[in-house]
Structure 1
């Protein structure tokens, strides 16, 4: 998969700009542009390789033009000869033809079944898509979609936690927060990007801190591994080894090993005691 540079402090505009630069660097398309969806239209905010300013600020509406088709169909659309294409409307000819683009390729950024943005690749001459090597473009769109999905999940979890962790924190609210914490750890465990995992870990620590009643009531002279905490967080919800294995993508035997290791480190003999001690030590919410 082609990687685009993503950092924790990137704004949405930074993300799309990085992706657009990645398109011209990793494909043979000399022109690229893109933007995010807002109220049924994609607002182009980033360009790369353009010769004019005709595309700057372009707003592409659903069903209109090549990108509009990609928005509603939620799949890539290609116009080998944009000027003569009869399968699209030509609302944006002034911008596209004004830039001198002949072949245009539109790739939607799909998150949870919804088009959240568009990436475009263009060429000034008619060229087959095979010659342009479209796979890097698909890869960049997928990377961007994954980043948006993570941001959405983190925002949802933090918002949910913030709405329920207002004092006093009742039993039902505390359990909801613990479920959110366990699910967030499961999501983090499926991500290979170390930067994103650290960002999620920071959110996890905030959730764990919000659920506490103050300083930890017990200290432990040991450190649990990431997977041991993952398993304990699921066990704290009353899940069986089989359920934990399914949620974390592990084998049931592996889950049992992590639980035994965590219990040994915490100096207890049951999973319930391990969860209790981990909560008192501030390891779990």
Structure 2
């Protein structure tokens, strides 16, 4: 199995939260400091830019992005450019396999960061397990920790938040905005795998990444760290966005991290 080294933009689907949540900095009790006013302003600009790009994708598909979403009024000219039908930068992401059958969350974060930083940051999976507090206790990885740790350690690359898509198109354009951001990022997907054709009915609660999309074909490209499933691991699947939406919608979190 051959993996080409490349950058990855990922949208993450996550469990346990509802609605739009801008990720606060870690509290002092959690080992971090709350964001400063300047950091909060920068975070707002990032989310505003992402929303502007998403609005461009929505317009191409005839759907309006609600102006009530946080940051929707902070639109930069660069972010408001016409949206590409598909991205070209992330055709060959590096996919590190998860070390244990319960570490898909840390493995997905490792793949996300490695791609986003073009390989300059390559912590082992154990580092991400420690940061995310992931243990072999049946609870998996909580989405709020992914949001928190991405913003705490990688804020120079952007800002991350939880989002709950309401339709197939909503998810598709969310992934598109993430991948097409000025520093392309992948989306974290928390999924129930029985809705994905690559799992052939196997029912798992799982983390994976979305690293590309096609607005015309309405597909989402996924990068899966599950080395315990040889159909899924390491391959780049172009899955109908409707099936990815169902996998997210019926997951514990019913949302994504982007």
Same fold by TM-score, threshold 0.5 exceeded? no
Q: Which of 1 and 2 has greater Rg?
A: 1
More helix by share: 1
Please report the TM-score for the alignment, with normalisation by the length of structure 2. Answer: 0.25
Q: Which structure is richer in relative contact order (CA contacts within 8 A, separation 6 or more)?
A: 2
